[in-house]
């Protein structure tokens, strides 16, 4: 990558040196890319380099192994949402998950599209229920794209595709009510909206968050658990308050 100009969703930013910052952006064709922004900690750049913002980014590097220099121009700001606790928590977690889970330089076009969809839903929906189900589906998609997908097509115990109500924490496969007799208490609830579509009600959405959270913690965020999962815990806590 000598030079690349593309749209990018800012997913993570950290300070580098006295005035600079390293930003990681999710792109459609090149996946997650990191770059050094000169003056990235300045008053002018801080509102641009915020997770969730869409920027026009130009990456320049002499070699493939070199950290690229990055210049950005704001294309669409979601900064106003960061003043609202629940949308801010959703953006913080979704972007942090993306930055922590994905390897750099690997294209994930479905995840890029889904990430933009989730952030757009957070921005447009009048209430959290309008985007919470989309967030659960994004987490499921990320698990699948990284090779840890759940099999929700048929019961692992009976082979049937009907009345699926649980997921085995050991096999990540669905289990029907009939197949779960005697050990349902050992399984994770499978919310109906993940099978039937739609938004789901709040109990189903919270079941979905517990389901994806279990597999993300077990399979994806094992080395960065404390930092990244703290963002998810804040989101879940605020969702619980919102529906209480």
Give the model confidence (pLDDT) of 68-122 as tens digits. Answer: 999 999 999 999 998 899 999 999 999 999 999 999 999 999 999 999 999 999 9
Give the pLDDT of residue 18: 82
Same domain, 105 and 224: yes
User: For residue 46, what are the CA distances in angstroms to 42, 75, 79, 205, 206?
Assistant: 6, 14, 10, 34, 33
- 12 and 70 part of one domain: yes
Find the mean pLDDT for residues 210-215. 97
6-34: pLDDT as tens digits: 999 999 999 887 889 999 999 999 999 99
**HSE (side-chain half, CA atoms, 13 Å) at 184:** 12
Residue 103, domain extent: 82-152+190-243
Calpha distance 152→143 (Å, rounded): 13
pLDDT band at 1 (very low <50, low <70, confident <90, very high): low
What's the rounded Cα separation, in Å, for the pair 239 and 216? 18
pTM of the complete model beyond 0.75 = yes
Q: Average pLDDT over the chain, rounded to whole?
A: 93
Decide if 111 is inside a domain. Answer: yes
pLDDT at residue 224 tops 70: no
CB 173 within 8 A of CB 156: yes
Indicate whether 72 and 87 sit together in one domain: no
Q: Is the pLDDT of residue 36 over 90?
A: yes
Residues 59 and 100 reside in one and the same domain: no
């Amino acid at each position: 990558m000598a030079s690349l100009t593309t749209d990018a969703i800012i997913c993570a930013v950290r300070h580098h040196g006295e005035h600079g910052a390293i930003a990681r952006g999710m792109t459609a064709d090149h996946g997650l890319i990191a770059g050094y922004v000169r003056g990235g900690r300045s008053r002018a750049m801080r509102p641009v380099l915020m997770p969730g913002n869409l920027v026009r980014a130009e990456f320049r590097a002499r070699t493939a192994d070199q950290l690229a220099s990055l210049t950005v121009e704001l294309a669409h700001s979601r900064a106003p949402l960061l003043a609202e606790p629940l949308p801010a928590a959703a953006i913080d977690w979704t972007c942090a998950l993306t930055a922590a889970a994905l390897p750099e330089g690997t294209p994930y076009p479905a995840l890029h599209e889904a990430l933009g969809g989730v952030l757009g839903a957070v921005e447009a929906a009048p209430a959290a229920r309008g985007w919470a189900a989309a967030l659960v589906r994004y987490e499921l998609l990320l698990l699948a794209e990284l090779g840890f997908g759940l099999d929700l097509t048929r019961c692992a115990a009976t082979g049937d595709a009907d009345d699926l109500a649980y997921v085995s924490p050991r096999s990540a496969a669905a289990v029907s009510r009939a197949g779960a007799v005697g050990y349902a208490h050992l399984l994770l609830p499978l919310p109906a909206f993940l099978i039937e579509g739609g938004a789901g009600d709040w109990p189903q959405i919270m079941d979905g968050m517990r389901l994806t959270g279990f597999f993300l913690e077990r399979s994806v965020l094992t080395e960065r658990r404390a930092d990244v999962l703290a963002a998810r815990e804040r989101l879940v806590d605020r969702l619980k308050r919102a529906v209480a």
